[in-house]
Amino acid sequence: MEKPLKIGIIGVGSIAQCHARGFLKDGRATIVNVCDLMEEEAANKATKWGAERSCVDYNEVLKDPDVEAVDILLPPSLHAKVAVQAAEAGKHILTEKPLATTLKDCDEVIAAAKRNHVKLMVCHNQLFYPPHQEAKRLVDNEIGNPIMSTSLLHGGFGASGWREDPVIGGGFLLEACIHRFYVSRYLMGEVKRVSCMTAKSTLELKTEDIVLVNLQFDKNRYGTISANRGAPPALWDDRTEVVGDDGMVIINGVEDCILGGLPLMHYKDGAWKSYMTPRVFGETAEGMEGVPEEVKFTTNEIDNKFVNTFYYVIKHFIDCVVDDKTPFVSGEEGRRLVEIMLAAYKSAETGKVVNV
């Protein structure tokens, strides 16, 4: 690649720093324009990230002849509108999840990207989390027939800003729990049926903050998702477990490792194998408190830094643009997840199991 890919970032909320770090770390891209409604914040981030320009109107980014690709980091209800306009402007598109909040909007984004021959990728960043990728290998090859998955999202991160508004943010189920859905599908296979219950822990909430989901996958596999954002502020628990008839895998969280700091554990033939964080602190499984002496461990190292997932996403996105490849999380993949999420909402509304 002779010249760096020139990027316009649209939206500088909390996740933008993770994305910008990815572009800067990769080295094959340069951020040239930064947009946000908060003019001073856009200017500050532009300076920090080495961008030449900043603005408050995303149309200025889309009209910028230097910008070759955009990174859309806006509330979910705005993704589709900006993505369609970006495609019409000939810009490659990386957008935060979800792709859109309706299937109609998803279809319009996909059609616009195809019509204008631009790449479209959705940031399902946890698919690029190395413990999830290794868990996928283990589920496919090392635990026999996968029977059931359990995925959690419990934390004290009450809704604020646009996340409080289900029209703008899409709701807790769509905006936050989508990670648990796409990880479960990645590990277990295609979803066939979904049942869901949602609730509000307090009456004044505008959107649900409690979610319980049952999933039926292909090949007679099953899964559950349990989520709430009313836990104590210091708690973050986003574990996923898969049990097979010849083993078990525990991905011990993504944004935090709640069980003794082990990113990934694999049970087979009566022994646990643990994957360790790179040994910056010199810890080993055998030396950690709370591990019974009779449990046998072996250790491997694996990158479990949450922020690095965005670097891996962006590295893949740049690869796709430069080498003309289809993104792993294409527009069609993003649409499929929205379809499953909307089926969950339908189930919660009707009290019925919904086929997808």
pLDDT tens digit string along 79-99? 999 999 999 999 999 999 999
294 lies in the same domain as 315: no
Identify which of 62, 123, 63, 52 has the alpha carbon closest to the alpha carbon of residue 94.
Answer: 123
Instruction: Tell whether 341 is covered by a domain.
Output: no
| Residue 219 vs residues 188, 193, 290, 324: alpha-carbon distances, Å | 9, 12, 37, 34
Return d(Cα 37, Cα 199) in angstroms, integer.
Answer: 33
Number of domains in the chain: 2
Q: What is the pTM of this model?
A: 0.92
- What are the beta bridge partners of residue 208? none
Domain CATH number, residue 312? 3.40.50.720
| Residue 47 vs residues 34, 53, 96, 237: alpha-carbon distances, Å | 9, 9, 23, 35
191 lies in the same domain as 136: yes
Domain CATH number, residue 160? 3.30.360.10
Q: At what angle do helices 103-115 and 76-88 cross, to 10 degrees?
A: 20
Return d(Cα 342, Cα 356) in angstroms, integer.
Answer: 10
pLDDT tens digit string along 1-28? 578 999 999 999 989 999 999 999 999 9
Instruction: Tell whether 346 is covered by a domain.
Output: no
Judged against a pLDDT cut of 50, whether residue 129 lies above it is answered with: yes
% of the chain at pLDDT higher than 70? 90
Count of other CB atoms within 10 angstroms of residue 278? 11
174 lies in the same domain as 253: yes
pLDDT tens digit string along 184-236? 999 999 999 999 999 998 888 888 899 999 999 999 999 999 999 888 877 88
Q: Give buried/exposed letters for 289-304 (b at 16+ CB in 10 A, else e).
A: eeeeeeeebeeeebeb
Domain residue limits at 176? 127-304
